[in-house]
Structure 1
Amino acid sequence: MESMQLSGSTLLVIVDDADVRCPLATALESEGYQVLQCAQSERALQLFAECRPELVICDLHPTAMPGVDLLRQLSETDAQIPLLVLTDSEHMPDAVEALRAGASDYLLKPLHDMVVLSHAVRRCLDRYALHRENQRIRERLEQVNGELQNHLKALRDDQAAGHQVQLNMLPPSPWQTGTLCFRQRVIPSLYLSGDFVDYFRVSESQVAFYLADVSGHGVASAFVTVLLKFMTTRLLYEQRRDGSSGPLEFKPSEVLGHVNRSLINCRLGKHVTILGGVIDEAESTLTYSIAGHLPLPLLLSGGKAEYLQGRGQPVGLFEQATYEDRQISLPEDFSLVFCSDGVLECLPGSTLKEREARLPQLVEQAAGDLDSLLALLGLAEEAALPDDLSVLCVSRNLQ
């Protein structure tokens, strides 16, 4: 006899003895379960495959097929559906074997108290529901993880492309022009850097340069470095529109003022500290301007490194900010060293003053050479850094 209710969880009862099966099915139906009844193992396997019940209640000793063999076939069809077996008290070894074959729990016959059956069914169904929920969560996590991996790959691809763009924007290093040799190194803390270095010839006797440190890290800061490159290139173009070929009035202070106004108008919420300057080889002078940048520039001459003086507010913060030009005469042999504040993080000392005092000593030890200075800072090899780091060295007649 087979019957089925239309509401509640679906249970499959496989018991060959109708005197046991029918009362059991009636009790379960009264609790709202829809019950499939079956007396033969072959029909049981068919119903199991077609209906996929949430629980199977199986007698260990049906006449058509040994109960343990049936359990193994049911478990092979779907190992997740719980199997509750019924066995006589004198057949306890069979119950142990059934548990090994995939049964979830067992009850001893005869069932005098249907409350015991009800509790066992609910316990099995609760475990099954919990398992299905965990499985759904696991599948969702796998899906989300897959999506996350795809997003991360796309992000890494974008960052790698952005990193390559930044590398392409940086000037060559070393770069020999006239009597001057420029060397630079920019080390990002992430894929993209908020530090940037550039240098370019302004006229036959003038070479301009700057080192910038954009607030923050990552994509937004890297975007500002692109703007800086664009602004300085445009300013140089506008200076040259009249076709003149002689020295230009390319004042660092005016460049900083222009950058300050442009960043404020862009409303990017970013500010930049900059060291900018122009070296006139014919006059052997350095004209420079500082916008809130630390550490200050260092001039190495005669084996002694000293800080140049200057001050000014960062660009991109204050509309009324003004910047001043300072000019010094350059010795025959010298090295100018410009660093972002990320360099200070690599120096020993518990205070900023102690670290700033240490930097000139390292420049002297390195004799103004970029690679030697990086080695003394422990940056000869790529390493994870807490902040973007950049160094620019400009030298004349120094090996």
Structure 2
Amino acid sequence: MERPKQLIGVIDMPGPARDALAETIARDGLAVVAVADSEALPPEVALVVAHVRAVPAADWPALCESLPTLVVSDNRDASDLLSAVDAGLVDYIVEPCRHGQLLRRMIRKAIRLHELEEARRRDKLRLEELNETLETHLAMLRLDQQAGGQIQRKLLPPRPQSLGGITCDYWFAPYLYLSGDFLDFHLLDERYLLFYFADVSGHGASSAFVTVLLKYLANRWQAEWDGEHPEALPARWLEGLNQELLETGIGKHATLFVGIIDLERRYLHYSLGAQLPMPMLMTDGKVTTLAGEGMPVGLFPGADYPTLGCSLPERFHLWLCSDGVLECLPGDTLEARLVELERQIQASATLADLTANLALDTAPGDKALPDDLTIMMLSGFGHADS
């Protein structure tokens, strides 16, 4: 389809000179309308070619503001030429009929530049509208996440607690508002203390939703427990959560540690799924890493999880940390950072000691963290009141 001719307005006194100027411009596919003043210009005019003698000096600013304007003159000494230049014209040319080809090129270039400027202006307005909409949506999302973060914190157990001679405490800090870390501890009955520690892949809303699912499933499975074989519960729970996460199809997996402390025997039954760093048990000033390994939860169908256990001395500290703690430790390798974590735990008698040693002694949320970070400490039996 042939593009319609662009209409060029010529402002000049009527007569042979204006006709010659209009004829010069009309070549090469340009349409021309000649008028005596700007008021007579039709609305579809794309550009104005105005003779300096035809426009009063006071009218130049309004004309240049409304349309891109080229000024022509018979000589460079025209008294009103400077007034037109000061008003913001696109360009000017002297003796236009002698330089017709140059004039037409200047007209086309001025039209293209004006079209580009108009497109840029429209894009800017559109971008401002989109930015305003985006800011509104981000503000709403921020409020939603803040509310979700408050709800998630409400799902966490009160801290600290003393349960059956075991003191349970934790430090919890999400990367932003919602966290992929989660934990819980409570008595199954008078003899058994249940606790678990989870680190869901990623962070934010989708990871936080998995922690809510974990809380729901743990409550359901606890209600369904018949009171028999508590040592089998940790592995059974991991297998169940593994199947639940795979069936959701959300592409999330987790590392998880589930433990049950037999308060009478002072024995820890546990199972784990790719926990990193591994839980560390400190007794008599020495730190040992709990034995065992297991597959991540939510990645592999039919994964089996180990049933493990160890005796607990009268006085112990059991530390569990999410992998965000590794970002807070010096060292170029994972092994070096794990060694440093062990050293920091050995030097810490309380949860406050460890957070201070890791420069986390501000309130959770007051310090920007590279990842979700949670630390959990269980101490007993002789440390229960420490």
TM-score of the two chains, using structure 2 as the length reference:
0.88
Please give the alpha-carbon distance, in whole angstroms, between the structure 2 residues aligned to 1:12 and 1:155. 52
Contact 2:197 2:258 in 1 (8 A): yes
Matched, 1:389 2:378: no
- How far 1:387 moved relative to its partner? 2.9
Please give the alpha-carbon distance, in whole angstroms, between the structure 1 residues aligned to 2:143 and 2:40. 52
1:258 matched residue in structure 2:
240
2:48 matched residue in structure 1:
56
Letter in 2 for 1:174: P
Which of residues 86, 109, 115 is equivalent to 2:95?
109
- How far 1:261 moved relative to its partner? 2.5
- How far 1:233 moved relative to its partner? 0.5
1:86 matched residue in structure 2:
72
Please give the alpha-carbon distance, in whole angstroms, between the structure 2 residues aligned to 1:267 and 1:7. 56
2:256 matched residue in structure 1:
274
Contact 1:203 1:248 in 2 (8 A): no
Over 3 Å counting, the alpha-carbon distance change for 1:51 and 1:202 in structure 2 is same
Residues 268-307 of structure 1 correspond to what in structure 2 (within 5 A)? 268-307=250-289
Contact 1:89 1:109 in 2 (8 A): yes
- How far 1:97 moved relative to its partner? 3.1
1:374 matched residue in structure 2:
355
Which of residues 37, 40, 43 is equivalent to 1:47?
40
Over 3 Å counting, the alpha-carbon distance change for 1:18 and 1:351 in structure 2 is same
Contact 1:291 1:315 in 2 (8 A): yes
Which of residues 50, 60, 72 is equivalent to 1:71?
60
1:3 matched residue in structure 2:
none
Contact 1:194 1:214 in 2 (8 A): yes
Contact 2:329 2:341 in 1 (8 A): yes
Please give the alpha-carbon distance, in whole angstroms, between the structure 1 residues aligned to 2:7 and 2:21. 14
TM-score of the two chains, using structure 1 as the length reference:
0.86
Identity of aligned residues (%): 38
Please give the alpha-carbon distance, in whole angstroms, between the structure 1 residues aligned to 2:266 and 2:286. 19
Residues 145-160 of structure 1 correspond to what in structure 2 (within 5 A)? 145-160=131-146
Matched, 1:13 2:10: yes
Contact 1:56 1:84 in 2 (8 A): yes
Shift >6 Å, 4+ stretches:
none
Residues 319-358 of structure 1 correspond to what in structure 2 (within 5 A)? 319-358=301-340
Matched, 1:97 2:98: no
Please give the alpha-carbon distance, in whole angstroms, between the structure 1 residues aligned to 2:12 and 2:333. 83
Contact 2:53 2:80 in 1 (8 A): no
Gaps of 5+ in 1: 1-5
**SS of the counterpart of 1:366?**
coil
Contact 1:362 1:373 in 2 (8 A): yes
Please give the alpha-carbon distance, in whole angstroms, between the structure 2 residues aligned to 1:59 and 1:92. 10
Letter in 2 for 1:54: A
Please give the alpha-carbon distance, in whole angstroms, between the structure 2 residues aligned to 1:344 and 1:208. 26
- How far 1:140 moved relative to its partner? 2.8
Matched, 1:239 2:225: yes
Letter in 1 for 2:34: Q
Letter in 1 for 2:269: T
Letter in 2 for 1:391: I
Please give the alpha-carbon distance, in whole angstroms, between the structure 1 residues aligned to 2:295 and 2:119. 59
CA shift digits 1:199-229 (9 cap, x unpaired) = 1221123221111112233333222211111
Residues 157-176 of structure 1 correspond to what in structure 2 (within 5 A)? 157-176=143-162
**SS of the counterpart of 2:252?**
coil
Letter in 1 for 2:253: H
Letter in 2 for 1:340: S
**SS of the counterpart of 1:293?**
coil
Please give the alpha-carbon distance, in whole angstroms, between the structure 2 residues aligned to 1:53 and 1:371. 76
Contact 1:202 1:248 in 2 (8 A): no
Over 3 Å counting, the alpha-carbon distance change for 1:113 and 1:75 in structure 2 is closer
Over 3 Å counting, the alpha-carbon distance change for 1:186 and 1:128 in structure 2 is same
- How far 1:373 moved relative to its partner? 0.7
Letter in 2 for 1:251: L
Contact 1:292 1:312 in 2 (8 A): yes
Over 3 Å counting, the alpha-carbon distance change for 1:358 and 1:112 in structure 2 is closer
Letter in 2 for 1:9: Q
Contact 1:184 1:392 in 2 (8 A): yes
Please give the alpha-carbon distance, in whole angstroms, between the structure 2 residues aligned to 1:90 and 1:387. 70
Which of residues 347, 352, 365 is equivalent to 2:347?
365
**SS of the counterpart of 1:98?**
helix
- How far 1:231 moved relative to its partner? 0.9
Please give the alpha-carbon distance, in whole angstroms, between the structure 1 residues aligned to 2:162 and 2:71. 88
- How far 1:52 moved relative to its partner? 5.8
Please give the alpha-carbon distance, in whole angstroms, between the structure 1 residues aligned to 2:108 and 2:302. 76
Aligned residue pair count: 378
Over 3 Å counting, the alpha-carbon distance change for 1:390 and 1:111 in structure 2 is same
- How far 1:234 moved relative to its partner? 0.3
- How far 1:28 moved relative to its partner? 2.9
